[in-house]
């Protein structure tokens, strides 16, 4: 069973995603960008599911970029409740990530994280 990290600044979102994915993966969670970076330094993750918006400070896109530099093989899914511009979506694609809108669909997440 692969290990993935789910990150969002809303604890209810990370818990909901953890519940949805725990039958398929070992799921760790984080609620701040700094926490994501620290956890990725300590653990090797096969996948990262991260909200694009962490409020003030570093964005999910910036965190994903840092993680991508350190781990070229990690699968990254960037999600948001807001419909972002094509330019933002292209930045996600340029990172080798997939951009999805909330709510996340189990079949879609499994396809992205399982490929």
* Distance from chain centroid for Cα 98: 9
**pLDDT score for 102:** 84
**pLDDT score for 56:** 73
Query: H-helix or E-strand containing 22?
Result: none
**pLDDT score for 81:** 80
Nearest to 82 by CA among 108, 53, 56: 53
Whole-number Å distance between alpha carbons of 93 and 96: 5
**pLDDT score for 85:** 77
pLDDT, averaged in runs of 10, over the chain (115 residues): 93 96 97 94 96 84 95 94 80 92 92 85
**Do 83 and 53 contact (CB within 8 A), yes or no?**
no
Note the pLDDT tens digit of each residue in 83-107: 777 888 888 999 999 999 888 999 9
Nearest to 50 by CA among 26, 69, 66, 72: 66
**pLDDT score for 115:** 59
Could you give all domains of the chain from N- to C-terminal order, each with its CATH number?
Answer: 3-114 (3.40.50.2300)
**pLDDT score for 107:** 95
């Amino acid at each position: 069973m692969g290990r993935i990290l789910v990150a969002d600044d809303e604890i209810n979102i990370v818990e909901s995603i953890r519940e949805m994915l725990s039958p398929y993966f070992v799921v760790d969670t984080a609620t701040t960008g700094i926490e994501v970076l620290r956890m990725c330094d300590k653990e090797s993750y096969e996948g990262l599911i991260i909200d694009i918006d962490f409020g003030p400070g570093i964005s999910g896109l910036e965190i994903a970029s840092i993680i991508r530099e350190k781990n070229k093989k990690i699968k990254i899914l960037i999600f948001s409740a807001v419909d972002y511009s094509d330019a933002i979506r292209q930045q996600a694609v340029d990172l080798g990530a997939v951009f999805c809108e909330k709510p996340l669909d189990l079949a879609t997440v499994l396809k992205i994280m399982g490929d």
